[in-house]
Amino acid sequence: MFSLILSTTARAIMPLTLVFSVYLLMRGHNAPGGGFVGGLIAAVAFAIASLADGVATARRALVVDPRRLMAVGLALALASGFGGVAAGQPFLTGQWAEVMVPVVGKIGTPLVFDVGVYLAVLGVSLTMLFALSEED
């Protein structure tokens, strides 16, 4: 059943929800938030789009296959652990670059880990959502 109000609202809310999810991702180092919560909020944006306009439209808006997001996210999270090993410290010990990036601050392995978690959670959530929502 198509709803013009839901469809219009979903198109307006989706970019705002995605920006909020990135905000939560970046905020997670110093306050509540992070990759897990940000990934769930991003998945909610695509869930609303799939409810409003169908799974095919949500898949087109995502552009990438959710399983690839899962794989890239897991690879990033795993790779972030080797920064400490390369510096002669235990696995997953945080390492930071000396360069300050505007708005973000110092970039380090915790940010890489959070981005990996963000992508993995988004991929897993959307894989389940799309599989459950698609009709045979």
Whether 46 has a pLDDT exceeding 60, the answer reads yes
Distance CA 104, CA 14 (A): 23
Whether 136 has a pLDDT exceeding 60, the answer reads no
Domain that holds residue 107: 4-133
**Higher local confidence (pLDDT), 52 or 31:** 52
Tens of pLDDT, residue by residue over 78-92, are 999 998 899 999 998
pLDDT of residue 18: 97
pLDDT of residue 81: 92
Tally of domains within the chain: 1
Q: Token pair for residue 104?
A: 């973000």
What element of type H or E holds 97?
A: strand 96-101
Nearest residue to 129 (alpha-carbon basis) of 61, 35, 34, 33:
61
Distance CA 14, CA 4 (A): 15
Q: Return the minimum-mean-pLDDT range out of 26-40, 48-62, 84-98, 120-134.
A: 26-40
- Phi, psi angle pair for 97, to nearest 5°: -75, 155
